[in-house]
Amino acid sequence: MRFDLVVRSRETGLALRSVEAADQAAALALAAARGWQVLSAAGAPRRFAAALPHALATGTRESVDHGAMAEELATLLGAGLGVLEAVDALAAGGGSAHRQRLLTAVAAALQEGRSLSEAFQAGAVLPPLFVAAIRASERTGDLVQTLQRHAEHERRMQRVRARVAAAATYPMILLAVGSAVVLFLLGFVVPRFAGLVETTRSQMPLASRWLMQWGRVMGEHPEALVLLLGALAAAALALVWHVRSGAAERWLQRLPLVGRLTRLYRHAQVYRTASVLVRGGIPAPQALQQATPLLQGGERQALQAAVGRLHEGQAISQALADAGLADPVTLRMLVVAERTGTLADMLERVASRQEARLEAGLDAVSRWIEPVLMIGIGLVIGAIVVLMYLPIFDLAAQLQ
């Protein structure tokens, strides 16, 4: 069996090596005989990358719950362990293979003399926003508190994302089931019904004739239905990719209710992130500058312009209000924070208020969008059934 080892040696430094051995103990013994210090060992069913940087680049940050990892690291540091000891303990504590590789890389960077923020940045374990907060906490000495705040921030944002996903799940399921029923009627039932109606030679309303013509086309060319289903699937995948890539943010914000909820979600992210960074010792202009990637389009440009005015000496309350990122209540809260010097606390309160407004908006949208979808789908299915049976009703009238 082949084992992939992350090792240190005097000749090559940090490197990734592969050895053939019967078990892991034999692989470790072989590495020790070659003078390697083994940092990590894993059996590999397929070849790993040729070098550690490439192995790190192939992983995605989203596959690691960095909020939970930050909380675990804060707990170990609070218990008195050193930074390297805590990272080594996390690496040996199990979890996904990707998490173990990343933590092993962080431990190796720490052994080379790098700071924790530099090690996290190289391993892409934490988002760049919080790497900056950790870098600031290394100067102020409140690393444990910074990690705890980051973990709490991630828990809050996960709850918000879960709430948004839960609000969208039922309407999407309802829409998918309704669409499947409509496609079944148009692709299977109507073509067979069209052949039956043709034998009656009865007069049909215009809409029924159109529907029967559709049925005849589907019956004579069943491959057209396959092409239609493929086109619908491709359109659905394209829409999902469009939304996930952020390209749909502009037209989403133009929708009456969805746009407002989208902006509330983005603003809550900005204020929550800025609160964590300011509390970690980063100046407010720099914290807001690092939070700009959380916005899209015109709002991102507006926040960047507000950061420029902050550097020129303008108050943060007025700068955010001019950028359209602070409503009258938020503006007054920020003015109070400027007077009392409690900016970090006030930013957190603003974020909580935005999240509460977001949840209330999601509840309101859920209450009306689900009945509207059910009524719409019912009307479409009912119209198809009625148009199918109108020729039968006409035939029955003629026979009477």
pLDDT string in tens for the chain (400-residue length) = 666 665 666 555 555 566 677 667 677 777 777 777 665 565 544 333 333 343 333 334 445 677 788 888 888 888 888 888 888 888 777 667 777 777 888 888 888 788 887 777 765 556 766 777 777 777 777 788 878 877 887 787 788 778 777 777 888 888 888 888 888 888 777 777 776 666 555 566 777 778 777 777 777 777 777 787 788 788 777 776 766 655 555 666 666 677 788 888 888 888 888 888 888 778 888 888 878 878 877 888 888 888 888 888 888 988 998 888 888 899 999 999 988 888 888 998 998 898 888 888 888 887 888 888 889 888 988 888 888 777 777 666 666 5
Give ∠ CA 80-84-89 in degrees, rounded to 5.
75
> What are the pLDDT digits (tens) for 34-71?
777 665 565 544 333 333 343 333 334 445 677 788 88
Per-residue confidence (pLDDT) for residue 53, from 0 to 100: 40
CA distances 349 to 75, 159, 333, 356, Å, are 26, 17, 9, 10
Contact status, residue 303 vs residue 295, Cβ threshold 8 Å: yes
pLDDT of residue 58: 39
| Phi, psi (rounded to 5 degrees) for 4 | -100, 125
Return the DSSP state at 62.
G
Helix (H, G, I), strand (E, B) or coil at 144: helix
- Packing angle, helices 206-220 and 222-244, rounded to 10: 100
Q: What pLDDT score was predicted for residue 166?
A: 79
Side-chain half-sphere CA neighbours of 322 within 13 A: 14
**Residue showing tokens 């003629």:** 398
The pLDDT value given to residue 244:
60
Q: Which two tokens stand for residue 119?
A: 């090690």
What is the pLDDT at residue 399?
Answer: 62
Question: Helix, strand or coil for residue 3?
Answer: strand
Instruction: Collect contacts of 96-102 with beta carbons under 8 A, ≥24 apart.
Output: 96/63, 96/64, 97/42, 98/59, 98/60, 98/63, 98/64, 99/63, 99/64, 99/69, 100/40, 100/42, 101/6, 101/40, 101/55, 101/56, 101/59, 102/56, 102/59, 102/64
Does the pTM surpass 0.75? The reply is no
> In angstroms, rounded to a whole number, what is the distance separating the alpha carbons of residues 164 and 157?
11
| 246 SS3 class | coil
Q: What is the structure's pLDDT at 59?
A: 39
C-alpha pair distances (Å), 119 with each of 83, 84, 107, 123, 316: 11, 11, 8, 6, 33
| pLDDT score recorded for residue 164 | 77
| pLDDT confidence of residue 242 | 62
